[in-house]
């Protein structure tokens, strides 16, 4: 049970990296910067399932027997959402940061599905701060969904709004909309239709359905689906519920009876939420544990992990640390490479250090300034892409002694980039592992937001090919950037912008 206790301790210090993890010990290899240029990098006596076996400890593990579908484009993602809503027979469960106030078609499909099937139940989990933020017409996610609760009742429609305990009392009143979201958010993206689960980093708004590139994977398995439904329901127990009410907003928010309000008693709220999540994770680990000898290299494994550090839950943080250590240990004996993507070059210090100290080759994929969601923003937000370029240049400078770390920027005319995840090839031409979900691998993904991702270890060549093609599709719209190019780009940046770096790194 030590693994479970680790999850519920709020101030655990991460274990120190061993001395042999230093950057000086990392092997120097000729730089290869394109996954498509890779062939087998050498033999290994171990299969990927053996290499990554420690990742199955302390987490639920699901053996997926049905084919996994890797979606490539936003339009495919939207079509799958609509298809799932139309064909769900038992339940629909949507977890997102928010639903765009313009998504009347999506909500209409939910309404039609509920009207057609009186046994259908719908659960929606959103962030309270983002989900109640109003647009120019005064509309919000909460106002968009409240009529469903009114028409079909709480027995069939539940809309949960998670609120961070880090914003309470006078601070909550002082911070305006949008800026208050820097304190912490519900960021988990999972879309469940009966036994089908779409894991993604995409939200439910128009740009994510048209020209904002993300990642999307559909996994069909009843136990895996049940895990995410229970995860959403557990978070819903310590979230506000959207009810029909206030005439001005079109809704009202209420906490469940007996649950502390995070805006009034954040300390008690954290204690209660921590207890509920620890119970959920403990049960999931016990029910879906696997014996070491029961996994074959033909099994496709799905390992979900969650991160909620404000609530004392550090499962994904521990999982990622283990992953980096396993890749490093493998790369000390065999050539190895991995790709890590994020919407923003704002990787946490520990993840940057893990890459720099790794014996493996790493490619980092992020949005170019033009593909950054803040590129067309107004006010001070318009400088955020420049800030990420400054952080990117500093990392390139740190990695200058390594010739096997590259930075690539996604640049596609008229598109923005929101993809995130990991593809680990070890020493093979096809991916041996991928991670997909909501984390951007930055400071706030670890310390502020509710996050979930799924580690998939493929058990067949077709799935490996599909995951590989997904990576190549992203890289096809990407360009390698050098330290000199980043230096030129950031030259002349105002000093006040560099002074904002600590805020951006921890808040954005």
Are 152 and 145 contacting, i.e. CB atoms less than 8 angstroms apart? no
303's torsion region: left (phi>0), alpha (psi -120 to 50) or beta?
beta
Tens of pLDDT, residues 48-93: 999 999 999 999 999 999 999 999 999 999 999 999 999 999 999 9
Residues of the chain with pLDDT under 50: 1-32, 37, 39
Dmax (CA) of the chain: 67
Bridge partner residues of 308 (DSSP): 313
The residue with tokens 């009347």 is 104
C-alpha to C-alpha distance for 403 and 234, rounded to whole angstroms: 46
C-alpha to C-alpha distance for 89 and 114, rounded to whole angstroms: 10
Tens of pLDDT, residues 466-504: 999 999 999 999 999 999 999 999 887 777 777 777 777
C-alpha to C-alpha distance for 212 and 402, rounded to whole angstroms: 32
Listed residue (189, 233, 160, 220) closest to 97, CA to CA? 189
Tokens of 64: 């997926």
Which of 49, 91, 187, 335 is the catalytic position? 187
The CA–CA distances, whole Å, from 32 to 261, 292, 486 equal: 53, 35, 20
Which of 194, 195, 316, 404 is the catalytic position? 194
Question: Is-catalytic flag, 189?
Answer: yes
Q: What is the 3-state secondary structure (H, E, C) of 156-197?
A: CEEEEEECCCCCCHHHHHHCCCCHHHHHCCECCCEEEECCEE
Which of 49, 111, 189, 352 is the catalytic position? 189
Question: Is-catalytic flag, 418?
Answer: no
C-alpha to C-alpha distance for 256 and 396, rounded to whole angstroms: 49
Listed residue (444, 413, 454, 431) closest to 343, CA to CA? 444
Question: Is-catalytic flag, 49?
Answer: no
Listed residue (246, 318, 245, 236) closest to 277, CA to CA? 236
Is residue 364 within a helix (H) or strand (E), and if so which, with residue range?
strand 361-367
pLDDT at 303: 98
C-alpha to C-alpha distance for 21 and 362, rounded to whole angstroms: 15
Tokens of 48: 């990927």
pTM for the model stands at: 0.91
Tokens of 475: 């890289």
């Amino acid at each position: 049970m030590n693994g479970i206790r680790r999850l519920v301790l709020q101030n655990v210090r991460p274990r120190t990296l061993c001395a042999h993890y230093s950057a000086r010990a990392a092997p120097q290899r000729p730089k290869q910067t394109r996954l498509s240029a890779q062939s087998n990098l050498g033999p290994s006596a171990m299969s990927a399932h053996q290499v990554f076996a420690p990742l199955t400890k302390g987490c639920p593990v699901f053996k997926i027997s049905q084919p996994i579908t890797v979606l490539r484009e936003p339009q495919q993602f939207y079509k799958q959402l609509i298809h799932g809503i139309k064909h769900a027979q038992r339940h629909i469960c949507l977890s997102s940061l928010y639903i765009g106030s313009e998504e009347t078609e999506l909500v209409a499909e939910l309404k039609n599905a509920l009207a057609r099937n009186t046994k259908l139940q719908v659960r929606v989990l959103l962030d309270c701060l983002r989900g109640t933020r109003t647009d120019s017409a005064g509309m919000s996610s909460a106002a968009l969904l409240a009529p469903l609760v009114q028409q079909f009742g709480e027995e069939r429609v539940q809309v949960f709004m998670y609120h961070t305990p880090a914003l309470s009392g006078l601070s909550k009143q002082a911070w305006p909309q949008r800026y208050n979201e820097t304190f912490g958010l519900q960021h988990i993206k999972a879309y469940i239709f009966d036994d089908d689960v779409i894991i993604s980093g995409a939200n439910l708004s128009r740009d994510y359905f048209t020209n904002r590139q993300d990642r999307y994977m559909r996994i069909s398995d009843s136990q895996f689906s049940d895990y995410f439904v229970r995860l959403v329901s557990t978070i819903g127990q310590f979230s506000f519920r959207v009810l029909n009410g206030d005439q001005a907003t079109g809704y009202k928010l209420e906490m469940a009876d007996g649950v502390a309000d995070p805006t009034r008693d954040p300390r008690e709220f954290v204690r209660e939420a921590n207890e509920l999540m620890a119970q959920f994770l403990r049960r999931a680990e016990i029910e879906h544990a696997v014996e070491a000898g029961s996994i074959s290299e033909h099994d496709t494994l799905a390992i979900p992990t969650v991160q909620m550090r404000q609530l004392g839950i550090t499962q994904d943080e521990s999982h990622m640390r283990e992953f980096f250590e396993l890749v490093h240990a493998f790369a000390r004996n065999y050539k190895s490479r991995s790709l890590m993507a994020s919407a923003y070059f704002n990787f946490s210090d520990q993840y940057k250090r893990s890459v720099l100290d790794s014996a493996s080759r790493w490619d980092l994929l992020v949005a170019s300034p033009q593909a950054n969601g803040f590129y067309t923003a107004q006010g001070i937000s318009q400088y955020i892409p420049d800030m990420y370029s400054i952080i990117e240049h500093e990392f390139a400078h740190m990695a200058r002694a390594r010739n096997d770390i590259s930075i690539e920027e996604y640049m596609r005319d008229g598109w923005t980039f929101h993809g995130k995840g990991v593809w680990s090839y070890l020493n093979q031409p096809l991916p041996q592992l991928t991670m997909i979900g909501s984390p951007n691998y930055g400071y706030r993904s670890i310390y502020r937001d509710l996050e979930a991702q799924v580690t998939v270890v493929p058990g067949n060549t077709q799935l490996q090919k599909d995951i590989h093609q997904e990576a190549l599709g992203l890289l096809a719209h990407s360009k390698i950037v050098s330290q000199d190019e980043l230096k030129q780009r950031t030259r002349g940046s105002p000093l006040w912008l560099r002074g904002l770096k600590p805020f951006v790194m921890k808040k954005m």
